[in-house]
């Protein structure tokens, strides 16, 4: 009798292992839906997060905002209500990573042009330089579609607070001079609940491809 149970025990172990292997194969074959993570401050590199919220593990959302776009229009959180969007931080006179980032945003714009619930949002980190007129000139040069992509300027403190406390995307809080933000290449994927669902290197073509794939995954949540 003991021998029977001993043999059965080994059979059960082998059966369990085989079952896991089969389930894993089926999972990959049928590409089972895997939801994107919801990023919280505690999950992000502390250099990118204001010290007052580094401990936060849930309920993080993009704060309300009021900024001005390339057409002199006021853009708020309501402009992105029920929208998925990609956000970044840039400035028009940047000669290093910004041109690459903007070109990649333009590529994303091309891919989402017919998707009514997807938009783009680029925040200037040098708002005194990036006036409405300057943003408009830059928008025309870069092929910005006004219905899909807002380039925004406005109060410097608000922009830097958004960067540090909402998007968790830059390395300083903007307490010094006009150029004190350590500007990063981050693109952020934001869902319809104003939650961060992905971070991407805006200068890396492979990351842009990953962002577009993640966008498809995120859209599945709303079907």
- 136-179: pLDDT as tens digits: 999 999 999 999 999 999 999 999 999 999 999 987 655 555 55
Binding-site positions read: 94, 98, 183
pLDDT above 50 (res 4): no
Predicted local distance difference test score (pLDDT) of residue 171: 75
d(CA 42, CA 213): 25
Predicted local distance difference test score (pLDDT) of residue 170: 81
Binding-site positions for Cu cation read: 94, 98, 183
d(CA 60, CA 92): 30
d(CA 208, CA 201): 7
Second-level CATH architecture of 41-220: 3-Layer(aba) Sandwich (3.40)
pLDDT, averaged across the chain: 88
pLDDT above 70 (res 50): yes
pLDDT above 80 (res 30): no
Predicted local distance difference test score (pLDDT) of residue 184: 84
- Between strands 74-76 and 66-68, the pairing is antiparallel
C-alpha distance from residue 73 to each of 67, 198, 210 (Å):
8, 28, 32
């Amino acid at each position: 009798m003991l021998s029977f149970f001993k043999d059965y025990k080994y059979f059960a172990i082998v059966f369990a292992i085989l079952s896991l292997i089969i389930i894993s194969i089926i999972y990959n074959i049928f590409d089972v839906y895997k939801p994107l993570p919801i990023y919280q401050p505690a999950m992000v590199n502390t250099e990118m997060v204001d010290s007052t919220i580094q401990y936060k593990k849930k309920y993080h959302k993009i704060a309300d905002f009021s900024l001005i776009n390339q057409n002199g229009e006021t853009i708020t959180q309501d402009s992105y209500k029920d929208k998925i969007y990609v956000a970044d931080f840039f400035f028009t006179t940047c000669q290093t990573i910004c041109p690459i980032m903007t070109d990649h945003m333009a590529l994303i714009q091309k891919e989402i042009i017919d998707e009514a619930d997807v938009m783009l949002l680029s925040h200037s980190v040098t708002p005194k330089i990036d006036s409405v007129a300057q943003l408009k000139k830059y928008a025309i040069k870069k092929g910005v579609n006004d219905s899909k992509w807002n380039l925004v300027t406005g109060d410097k403190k608000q922009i830097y607070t958004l960067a540090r406390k909402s998007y968790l995307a830059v390395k300083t809080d903007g307490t010094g001079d006009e150029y004190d933000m350590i500007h990063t290449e981050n693109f952020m994927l934001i869902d319809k609940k104003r939650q961060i669902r992905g971070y991407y290197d805006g200068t890396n073509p492979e990351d842009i491809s990953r962002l577009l794939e993640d966008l498809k995954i995120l859209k599945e949540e709303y079907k």
